[in-house]
Amino acid sequence: MSRHPLAVATALAFTISTPALAVDGQLTIYSGDFESVTQSEGQPGGPGFALVDRRIGFDLKSGQNIVSLDGLPRALDASSVVLKPPTGVRVRGQRFDFALAGQDELLRRALGQPVIVEQSVGNERLSYSGTLISAGNGLTLRLPDGRIKVLSNYSSFELPRLPGGIVNQPTLTWELAADRAGRQDLGLNYATAGMAWRAEYNVNTSGLGNDCRMSLDGAAMVVNRSGADFNDVMLTLVAGEPNRTAAASPQMYRESKVMMAAPMAADSAMAQQASGEYHAYKLPAAGNLPQGSVQRLPMVDSVSGIACERRYETSSQGGDWRPPYPIIDENFGAGDGQPQAVVATLRFKNAKAVGLGIPLPAGRVRMSDGSDFLGEASLAHTAAGQDVSLAIGTVFDLTAERTRENFKLDRDGRTITETVSVLLKNAKSTAATVRVTERLNRWTDWEVTSSSVPAQKRNSQTASFDVPLPAGGEVRLSYTVRYRWAEDVKIP
């Protein structure tokens, strides 16, 4: 392939703005929380994070003005709102009104107002008109003749108008002081939850071992559950998760389904650039990101012929814990015919030499071998030059059983000698090689003194053995490890 994998896109997957419409600001969405955002409507302080930078205009009179802006996200962080007025305009006050939360809040705000309440009694529907004086366990009305009517249950109620202080969509209201009358443009910045994205990669491999070659392409899945449409915006996706402080949510919203937006129209990837401590992918033209949508945008153009390695691996149990003193308990890590899964893995280097060498944002990787689906794995944010290791899945026809054959403690000589065997079986019709990884974590000073297959020290706590298996056959790996410790090391 002749072009760079992150070539500039020539068209957008999200709905293209018409040339006659002006760009209505910048929208920057950060990666992380994708699954959480897709499962429920956004709320302030909830999962997902985006920054909005736009211009708004008001016709002001000289002196004091009260102006409002609606159509805002329900998940907007009210404390993040910054209005930037031009010279001659000053912000005297700012208020954010959340959208109508539900029936209880509506009734609370309607106390003292006229109301019509319907009640079902048998097959009849009765109607009562009066002033609402209480709302809690039922409704209490003052009827026109002064009587008090308590309705413990009701079918519906009707208000002549929305109570004061309630809006039908999130609204920002400002008190502005203007030196002169006229149209004024102001900058508006705020943060909102309910928006997220992640990368989706497709990998197709051929060949086993070091003969493996693969192709890779990637897209960005972008979800908007913020509660507002974003039209005619320049979209930037940032691969990074800045620290955010926890915030209490003032209200909850009903869950709703996410729709899939219009099919992908772009045929190449986004341009990548640095963004502080992260990497940003900026689309070259404005477009629309509707509320309740998930859209797929091209991110990494297809690259083929990438050198890779498909490997079979099995590992002993135990993590990377380092003991404060030698573990002399004979039963530590013991096993007698203990089964171990054999896992297929895919490895490659994110390097220019193999056709990559680009920042790969975190996301999901789907792996195939031709038309055969192999498995899925999660890829962390991967910088250029880093090694990538992906677990494909458990292999059906390869099995492993681990047994400790011998253990000897020599306190005077300050040594432990342990012999372990791993029985590997291959039910495949072709030969296979399995890498056996052993965690040698009884103590930090160890040496493999003998083994039926050459050992390789991988790090301070692991050794590995590449064991070839014949088709339909089995092989027993056996090795002996000796641990030593200094005279001043105390053992309880």
Distance CA 110, CA 96 (A): 20
DSSP sequence for 399-413 = EEEEEEEEEEEETTT
Q: Give the Cα separation of 442 and 373 in Å (integer).
A: 40
Q: Phi, psi (5° rounding) for residue 471?
A: -60, 130
Helix extents (H) in 221-314: none
Would you say the C-alpha torsion 12, 16, 22, 24 has a positive or negative sign?
A: negative
> Among 135-139, 416-420, 465-469, whose mean pLDDT is lowest?
135-139
Confidence check: pLDDT of 10 > 60: no
User: How does pLDDT run across 57-79, given as a tens digit for each residue?
Assistant: 999 999 999 999 988 998 999 99
pLDDT single digits (tens) 21-66: 334 689 999 998 999 999 988 888 899 999 999 999 999 999 999 9
Mean pLDDT calculated for residue range 441-446: 94
pLDDT tier, 304 (very low <50, low <70, confident <90, very high otherwise): very high
Radius of gyration of the chain (CA): 33
**pLDDT tops 90 at residue 356:** no
- Within 13 Å, how many C-alpha atoms sit on residue 413's CB side? 8
Q: Give the containing element (helix H, strand E) for 288.
A: strand 287-289
**Residue 299: pLDDT band by 50, 70, 90 thresholds?**
confident
The answer for 152, left when phi > 0, alpha when psi is -120 to 50, beta otherwise, is alpha
pLDDT in tens, 240-280: 666 666 544 444 333 333 333 333 234 445 555 544 456 78
CA 9 vs. chain centroid, Å, equals 24
Q: How far is CA 17 from CA 7, 81, 184, in A?
A: 21, 26, 25
Of 184-198, 286-300, 396-410, 476-490, minimum mean pLDDT range: 286-300
Q: Is the full-model pTM beyond 0.75? A: no
Contact criterion met (CB below 8 Å) for 62 and 175:
no
pLDDT at 286: 84
Confidence of residue 15 (pLDDT cuts 50, 70, 90): very low
- Please say whether the dihedral angle defined by the alpha carbons of residues 179, 181, 187 and 188, taken in this order, is positive or negative: positive
Above 90 in pLDDT, residue 176? yes
Under 8 Å between Cβ of 81 and 172: yes
Q: Which amino acid is at 261?
A: A
Confidence grade of residue 4 (pLDDT, cut at 50, 70, 90): very low
pLDDT tens digits, 93-131:
998 887 665 677 778 888 888 999 998 888 888 899 999
Average pLDDT over residues 146-165: 84
Mean pLDDT of 158-186: 85
Alpha-carbon dihedral of residues 325, 326, 331, 332, nearest 10 degrees?
A: 70
Matching residue, tokens 């897709």: 38
Question: What average pLDDT does the segment 459-464 reach?
Answer: 93
Give residue 8's pLDDT.
28
Q: pLDDT band for position 206 (50/70/90)?
A: very high
What is each CA distance from 195 to 39, 44, 307, 347, 443, in whole angstroms?
12, 11, 36, 32, 48
As a whole number, the mean pLDDT across the chain is 85
Q: Contact at 8 Å (CB) between 328 and 363?
A: no
Question: Which residue is listed with tokens 């195939």?
Answer: 368
